[in-house]
Amino acid sequence: MTTDADASQVAEIPPPPLAVEPGAIEILRVWVAPGHTQQSKLQMAWEDPGNWGLLLAGVARDVAAAYEQQGLDPQEAFERIYAVFESEFVPVTDADGEPVSPQ
């Protein structure tokens, strides 16, 4: 994955207003750089891994809404995000239908 970052973008996004609430914690930070895949750091916050699914779905909705400010229909943006997300979970197989391990 590469970025479309340019010099006008900030290197670090300020925390949201929720960050000052009692008990609030940062649980995920993701960085991208041209020519590299993303790198993330996280800390566990829930016993149920399903909560990460809720978080990722909420982030996808937030990203789709942000694309509206760039003139893209948010529903189209969400559908594109979802399609790529879903494709990342489809196992890659060889001609015989056997799983191919990532390299």
Q: What is the pTM of this model?
A: 0.74
Note the CATH number of domain 17-87.
3.30.2370
pLDDT digits (tens, 9 = 90+) for 58-81: 999 999 999 999 999 999 999 999
SS3 string, the chain, reads: CCCCCCCCCCCCCCCCHHHHCCCCCCCEEEECCCCCCCEEEECCCCCCCHHHHHHHHHHHHHHHHHHHCCCCCHHHHHHHHHHHHHHCCCCCECCCCCECCCC
Is 5 or 40 the better-scoring residue by pLDDT? 40
- CB atoms < 10 A from the CB of 28, how many? 13
